[in-house]
Amino acid sequence: MSVLPLEENILSAAHTGFCNSPPSVLDFLGQEFSACRGVNGKHLFFCGEVRAKKMGRVNIWLKRSYMGVTALIVVICILLLGFTVFNHGVMHTREKAENEIVGLHFLYIFSAVILLFTVFGVFGVWKQKKWALIVFAVGMILGSLLLLFLIINALTATTQMENEMKKELDFLPLDNASDSALTVLKHIQKEFECCGLKSYKDWKNNIPESCLCNEPSTNPCLLVRDSEQLRPIYAKPCPPIIIASLSYAIQVIMGIMWGLILLWVFSVGLCVAILCQMNKKLETPNVAYSSEAKAGNYTTLMEDPVAV
């Protein structure tokens, strides 16, 4: 860029007062100065170009809201990892838990990946890195789609699960059932406060102790004559109670998934809003200099001393 002679580019301090601004103010305005020189201590000379700031400023409340949401996601991921580790330890004490361990491995990977994406998001808003915010937004969108896919599968698999449960518990008559099947049924009766597969009559006159109604009981009881004495037993059969309990558990899990999806979509919305504000450039008016520019209207603050 060519620079005109100094005497043709002298401007008044009123026209170029921004050159007297401290560096912090100049950085805030996003200006880049090639020169800012003083002439005789009264006027300032500016040569160079004024450029618009590359990134806009992010609203402080938007940034705080985003940091709060990401902090909540981090807490949820840490709790999910702790829950997975605890259940992994419990699974090792049980036999034939291969399917459950596969599910725990999925939870390990899922929670760790979401936690990693959240770290990218916090880094992006802290250092104002667009690429990190984009990685966070894409990762959370993919995670939301995965949860939505799992919810749809859970809805379609509920009916199949009920049918499978009925088949597994259908080993009537109980007189021909194996000892292991009877042991499982007795444990189910005691755990879910039920008796029999279709009714208490499945046991005929050999009602086990696991069918006896204990006070207080969440399920209704009835008096049945057994071995010439009246005994209180659970009135409801086991399969409907087990299926209702599993359906309730699935609904709770799906509710948690929907909550996570809404939270993640909200965080993506905040992230997109931050990216839009960062992409918004600060417009700086064009400054034109001419050798014919007139000095501004200002008065001399101090006159030269008059010789006596």
> pTM of the full predicted structure?
0.64
Residue 6 pLDDT greater than 90, yes or no:
no
The predicted-structure confidence for 146-204, as pLDDT tens digits, reads as follows 999 988 888 877 777 777 777 766 666 777 777 888 888 888 888 888 888 888 888 87
Residue 215 pLDDT greater than 80, yes or no:
no
CATH assignment of the domain containing 219: 1.10.1450
- The domain tally of the chain equals 3
Q: Do 97 and 231 share a structural domain?
A: no
Return d(Cα 30, Cα 283) in angstroms, integer: 10
* 214 contacts 203 by C-beta, under 8 angstroms: no
Query: Domain range spanning residue 265?
Result: 60-168+246-275
Q: Do 235 and 213 share a structural domain?
A: yes
The predicted-structure confidence for 58-93, as pLDDT tens digits, reads as follows 889 999 999 999 999 999 999 999 888 888 777 766
Q: Do 262 and 197 share a structural domain?
A: no
CA angle, corner 203, sides to 198 and 207, nearest 5?
Answer: 120
Q: What is the DSSP string of 49-89?
A: ----BSSPPPPHHHHHHHHHHHHHHHHHHHHHHHHHHHHHH
Kindly state the average pLDDT of the residues 196-219.
Answer: 82
Q: Do 260 and 133 share a structural domain?
A: yes
Q: Do 100 and 33 share a structural domain?
A: no
Q: What is the DSSP string of 177-238?
A: S-HHHHHHHHHHHHHHT--SSS-GGGGTT---GGGBPPSS-SS-EEEEE-SSSEEEEE-S-H
Q: Do 132 and 82 share a structural domain?
A: yes
Q: Do 26 and 158 share a structural domain?
A: no
Q: Do 231 and 144 share a structural domain?
A: no
